[in-house]
Amino acid sequence: MIEAVGLTKRYGANTAVHNLSFQVRPGTVTGFLGPNGSGKSTTMRMILGLDNPTAGHVTISGRPYRELPNAARHVGALLDAKAVHGGRHARNHLLCLAQLSGIPARRVDEVLGVVGLQAVAKRRSKGFSLGMGQRLGIAAALLGDPQVLLFDEPVNGLDPEGILWVRNLMKSLAAEGRTVFVSSHLMSEMALTAEHLIVIGRGQLLADMSVRDFIAANSAGFARVRTPDPEPQQREKLTAALTEAGGHVLPEPDGALRVTGLPLSRISDLAHSADVRLWELSPHQASLEEAYMRMTQAAVDYRSTADQKAGLMQPSAPGAPPQLPVPGQGQPGWYAPPPPEQGGRPFAMPAEDAAEDTTPAAPAPVALAKAPAPATARAAGAPEDVPADAPKAGPGQDSKDDDSEDPR
């Protein structure tokens, strides 16, 4: 089991993780979700002893990672599949890791078979595709037959068959009683793989519950209603009748109506009373993606102007707890209620924008020639929640800068 208590990590004035407490229990796949820059990578690094927490602590089976005897036999991790010396054969890479941890060589061939890389075991890893690199990283994590496993984006670069294989692997590992902690941005895959979720935003805990409870707590069911497409007047009549009866109606891009606050039977009766024909009346439950977007909308650091005009919630101020939406609000997907002047059209541009537009006309080509040159783009640095000088290799993994020659 992994247990974090009051985990906090600061890099100067930046707080990457703040007072984070959770447990990852054995026997289940636990998903670790959060927007970019929310502190997921930093949290995983602290679990694995790669970063020291500013405050709080985290243990694996009751002990800090660095105090585990022969840690590779207790914990396996995939943080960066590219952290492999490209000049080494796949089998030699795993042999080096096995020798460091006192693992017999026969185990190398076993894990190569598990991940399906037997045929390329003697190929240099620099020629591997992204998906093959992921499989090699998973093999390294499984090498010590550990009881605790951490995976960061394990399906990155895999084809559909490979994604299905990883999904089944995670479930089978959990079924054996192991602790499986998986970070991913693929909501559809998390919905099929994970049973429990830990969600963070801006370094703070947002949710710690089962997938089913998470969806129920952060979404509301709705009815999808469609009238004959060539007859918009029927759609308008139905909208008026449903609104008068206390329902909340929002148009969808394909012309259907999303209705909340009324049961299907009531919607049908109201349509009949208004003499409106229905071509579709179906119940819908929100997906994990919709529930996740609703939960984390205030914890996203960057918003495009299109998102802002669409009514998306603005991020909370740095250091402030993310504001949470009200579960069951009648709004499309993860969108916040539209501004009043938009009249219930969350995707519409405000009408007054055109009238009040005072933007000067574009300058003549001669003026453009005198414009100052754009500033040089900032050089790419470390991930948002990890400092530039932090080591990237996971436990037991080779550095990419290793200049050693290929053992033959």
Rounded to whole angstroms, what are the CA distances from 201 to 58, 109, 298? 19, 40, 8
Higher pLDDT, 234 or 367: 234
What count of other Cβ atoms lies within 10 Å of the Cβ of residue 18? 21
pLDDT recorded at residue 381: 44
Chain segment 332-345, per-residue pLDDT in tens? 333 333 333 444 44
> How far is Cα 130 from Cα 121, in angstroms, rounded to an integer?
16
Q: Domains plus CATH for the chain?
A: 2-216 (3.40.50.300), 220-286 (3.30.70.600)
Evaluate if residue 11 carries a pLDDT over 60.
Answer: yes
pTM beyond 0.85, yes or no: no
Q: Give the pLDDT of residue 216.
A: 85
Nearest Cα to Cα of residue 153 among 41, 317, 10: 41
Mean pLDDT, all residues of the chain = 80
Q: Using pLDDT thresholds of 50, 70 and 90, give the confidence band for residue 157.
A: confident
Tell me the percentage of the chain whose pLDDT exceeds 70: 73
**What's the rounded mean pLDDT across residues 77-92?**
87
Q: What is the mean pLDDT of residues 340-353?
A: 41
317, pLDDT greater than 70:
no
The pLDDT of residue 309 is: 56
Neighbours of 246 (CB within 10 A): 9
Task: With cut-offs at 50, 70 and 90, classify the pLDDT of residue 306.
Answer: low
Average pLDDT over residues 392-407: 45
Rg of the chain over CA atoms, in angstroms?
A: 26
Which pLDDT does position 151 carry in this prediction?
A: 96
Alpha-helical segments (H) within 274-304: 288-296
- Distance, in Å, from the CA atom of 160 to the CA atom of 319, rounded to the nearest integer, reads 40
pLDDT at 304: 65
Q: Is the pLDDT of residue 406 over 90?
A: no
What is the phi/psi pair of residue 135, to 5°?
Answer: -65, -40
- Residue 331: how many other CB atoms lie within 10 Å: 21
- The tens digit of pLDDT for each residue in 230-280 reads 678 888 999 999 999 999 999 988 889 999 889 999 999 999 999 998 999
Residue 169 has pLDDT above 90, yes or no: yes
pLDDT at 372: 46
C-alpha distances in Å from residue 51, one per residue of 75, 77, 138, 190? 16, 15, 22, 26
Q: In the predicted model, what is the mean pLDDT of residues 175-187? A: 95
* 3 pLDDT higher than 90: yes
Per-residue pLDDT, 332: 36
Cα–Cα distance between 304 and 309 in angstroms, integer?
9
Amino acid 142: pLDDT:
96
